[in-house]
Amino acid sequence: MNADATSGIDVSAKTLDVSVLRADSDKRKRRKFSNDGQGHQQLIDWLRSFGVTRVVCEATGVYHLDVAFALTDAGIPLMVANPRQVKRFIEARARNTQSDVIDADELAEYARRMDFVPWKAPSNNGFQLHKLGRAIGQLTKRHTAMLNRLHAARASAHTPKSIVKSTEREVQFIERERVKLSKEARRLVKADPDLARKFELLISAPGIAEVSALAILAELIVLPPNLAGKAWVKYAGIDPMSKRSGTSVNTNAHIAKRGNARLRGALYMPAMTARQRDPHMRDFADRMIANHKQPIEAIVAVQRKLLLSIHAMFRTNQAWIPQPTPKTA
At 83 the pLDDT is 81
Q: Which long-range contacts (CB under 8 A, 24 or more apart) does 223-231 make?
A: 224/80, 224/119, 224/120, 225/120, 228/311, 229/307, 229/308, 229/311, 229/312
- Where helices occur in the chain by DSSP H, the ranges are 37-49, 65-73, 83-92, 100-113, 124-155, 161-191, 193-203, 210-220, 229-236, 261-277, 279-290, 295-316
At 251 the pLDDT is 45
- All residue ranges of the chain with pLDDT < 70 are 1-3, 61-62, 94-102, 240-259, 323-329
At 230 the pLDDT is 86
At 95 the pLDDT is 61
At 32 the pLDDT is 96
- Please state, rounded to an integer, the average pLDDT across all residues of the chain: 86
At 321 the pLDDT is 84
State if pTM tops 0.85.
no
Domain 5-113 belongs in CATH node 3.30.420.10: yes
Residue 257 has, within 13 A of its CA and on its CB side, a CA count of 4
Give bridge partners of residue 8 from the DSSP assignment: 19, 56
- Listed residue (216, 298, 283, 192) closest to 253, CA to CA: 298
CB 102 within 8 A of CB 90: no
- Listed residue (81, 37, 65, 74) closest to 121, CA to CA: 65
With the CA atoms of 127, 132, 135 and 137 taken in that order, what torsion angle do they form, in degrees rounded to the nearest 10?
-100
Query: Percent of the chain at pLDDT above 70?
Result: 87
